[in-house]
Amino acid sequence: MDTIGDFITQLRNAYKAHKPVIEVTSSSMREAIARILKDQGYIEDYQVVEEKGKRFLRVLLRYGARQQPALREIRRISKPGRRLYTSAAKIPEVANGLGIAILSTPRGVMTDKEARRLGVGGEILCFVH
């Protein structure tokens, strides 16, 4: 099972359906991705809630003028069947620098810009713009 891929698909589908909020089961990787999306302005906010002994991640989606989604495209890059790793020097730019790549590095989950600044490579999880 690809829990990160499922989370990305649920985000993409919710934006297409103009949903205000989504709820998914929580994991540390999903929380890290949500933190980055919030910091970069792609989602409004997120919360970790506990109901009946299970942890859920509640994500409040962001829309602009005339209900335009803040997140235009999110695409999974490294998949369970084909992992994609990169060095710090070869981290790709997304949409000519207008988007971000989210990487899982030895120093944690971070954007491509942070990874370049710190000089670390890692697994490319997804592209966002």
What is the pTM (predicted TM-score) of this model?
A: 0.94
- Give the chain's domains with CATH numbers: 3-128 (3.30.1490.10)
- Identify the pLDDT of residue 109: 98
Q: Which residues of 38-48 are buried (b: 16+ CB within 10 A; e: fewer)?
A: bebebbeebee
Average pLDDT, the chain: 96
- Identify the pLDDT of residue 128: 97
Per-residue model confidence as pLDDT tens digits over 42-99: 999 999 999 999 999 999 999 998 999 999 999 999 999 999 999 999 999 999 989 9
Say what angle helices 28-39 and 3-16 make with each other, to 10 degrees.
40
- Identify the pLDDT of residue 7: 97
